[in-house]
């Protein structure tokens, strides 16, 4: 449905996927924004209808043959209003795959992995979009030597959409450049986060794999991205403090989502034996104290060519696809593609959006 179909003062009928709110309700549009609608809080059978944040709303539009949905993103009881993401056709809920890459600390090779893994997946025939979600320290654009006029800062300010900042990269991958130097926005409010999430649905049909290079550490935004993704990939080195930081991140995620299934990549290993030993140590602690069994999906040997590629702003997979590092990356990509998602498990960008929005409640 086009934005022109919605206007201030319009009365809309809706229902929800909530067991508590399964009736048909009426609301009125108070404001129309490019990424959301601001609505009046409904009064139904003498009670205020306070729909929980993250709830899916289905709009009943007799004049339209398609079903349109939104998600509740915020409520303002003092203003007697609530906000939902801009309605989209339900048929857009196709199954793409969201892979979020995180690390317990910086400097372990997270962004380098995200870039080279994106290239490897593209080489395997997948359409890949990479989002540089390291808010405040974005550098994917820099490492790919791409120049863009717009980035995530502009999206967060409401000046443009994610589609407007989508930038072509090497081997057919596409980049959503991040926002470097805006540490004040590390903890985004629901409206700012929605400006990112609303754009995801627009991009659903343009990719098979959506890779998110998150920030390092335990910030709220990082945790939201990691726990909502279809695949959670954690990268660390074999150094004890790096493993401890990754364990701390895993613990934080397990507290928020006990059934989470992290996948582990060990970087800068001396040999395969070291990778397995560190993995077993990590898994033993995770199994005993967190009741989790992280899966080791790959290891990467120490390679000075990686450092050189960073200085030259030319990803190693691009310049030397046959070297050992690149071959290890392609193995990791192949393993990721070989993993099957359970039929009952909701996946894809739209599902990813819904999971994140529930965390604002």
Angle at 356 between CA 250 and CA 182, to 5 degrees: 85
Q: What is the pLDDT of residues 179-230, one digit of tens each?
A: 765 544 456 777 777 777 767 777 877 899 999 998 888 888 788 889 888 8
Angle at 110 between CA 140 and CA 228, to 5 degrees: 95
pLDDT attached to residue 325: 92
Rg, Å, the chain Cα set: 21
pLDDT attached to residue 212: 93
pLDDT attached to residue 302: 87
Closest CA to 249 of 353, 102, 142, 130: 102
How far apart are the C-alpha atoms of 137 and 183, rounded to whole Å? 8
Q: What is the pLDDT of residues 153-178, one digit of tens each?
A: 888 888 888 888 999 999 999 999 88
Q: Give the orientation angle of helix 220-228 with respect to helix 349-358, to 10 degrees.
A: 140
For 65, the 3-state DSSP assignment is: coil
Domains parsed from the chain with CATH numbers: 3-91 (2.30.110.10), 94-340 (3.40.50.300)
What's CA 347's distance to the chain center, in Å? 12
How far apart are the C-alpha atoms of 124 and 317, rounded to whole Å? 13
pLDDT attached to residue 3: 55
Angle at 118 between CA 115 and CA 124, to 5 degrees: 145
pLDDT above 70 covers what percent of the chain? 87
For 135, the 3-state DSSP assignment is: coil
Q: What is the pLDDT of residues 274-288, one digit of tens each?
A: 999 999 999 999 999
The model's pTM is 0.76
Query: Which range has the worst mean pLDDT, 131-135, 176-180, 188-192, 312-316?
Result: 188-192
Say which residue, 347 or 121, is predicted with more confidence. Answer: 121
Angle at 337 between CA 333 and CA 340, to 5 degrees: 145
């Amino acid at each position: 449905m086009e934005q022109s179909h919605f206007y201030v003062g319009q009365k809309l009928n809706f229902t929800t996927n909530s067991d508590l709110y399964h009736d048909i309700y009426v609301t009125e549009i108070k404001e129309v924004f490019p990424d959301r609608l601001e609505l009046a809080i409904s009064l139904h059978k003498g009670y205020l209808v306070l729909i929980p944040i993250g709830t899916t709303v289905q709009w009943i539009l007799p004049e339209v043959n398609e079903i349109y949905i939104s998600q509740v993103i915020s409520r303002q009881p003092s203003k007697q209003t609530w906000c939902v993401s801009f309605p989209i056709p339900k048929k857009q809920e196709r199954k793409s795959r969201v892979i979020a890459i995180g690390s317990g600390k910086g400097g372990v090779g997270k962004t380098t992995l995200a870039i080279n893994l994106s290239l490897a997946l593209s080489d395997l025939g997948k359409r890949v979009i990479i989002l540089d979600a390291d808010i405040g320290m974005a550098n994917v654009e820099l490492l790919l030597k791409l120049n863009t006029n717009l980035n995530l800062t502009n999206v967060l300010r409401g000046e443009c959409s994610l589609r407007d900042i989508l930038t072509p990269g090497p081997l057919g991958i596409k980049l959503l450049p991040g926002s470097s130097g805006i540490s004040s926005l590390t903890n985004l409010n629901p409206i700012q986060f929605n400006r990112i999430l609303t754009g995801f649905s627009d991009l659903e049909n343009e990719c098979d794999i959506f890779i998110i290079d998150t920030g390092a550490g335990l910030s709220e935004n990082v945790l939201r991205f990691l726990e909502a993704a279809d695949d959670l990939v954690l990268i660390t080195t074999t150094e004890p403090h790096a493993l401890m930081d990754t364990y701390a991140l895993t613990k934080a995620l397990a507290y928020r989502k006990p059934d989470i299934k992290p996948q582990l990549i060990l970087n800068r290993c001396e040999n395969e034996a070291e990778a397995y030993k560190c993995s077993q140590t990590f898994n033993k602690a995770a199994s005993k104290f967190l009741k989790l069994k992280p899966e080791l999906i790959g290891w990467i040997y120490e390679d000075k060519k990686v450092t050189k590629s960073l200085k030259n702003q030319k990803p190693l997979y691009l310049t030397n696809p046959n070297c050992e590092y690149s071959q290890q990356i392609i193995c990791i990509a192949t393993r990721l593609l070989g993993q099957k998602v359970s039929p009952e498990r909701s996946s894809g960008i739209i599902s990813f959006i819904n999971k994140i929005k529930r965390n604002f409640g």
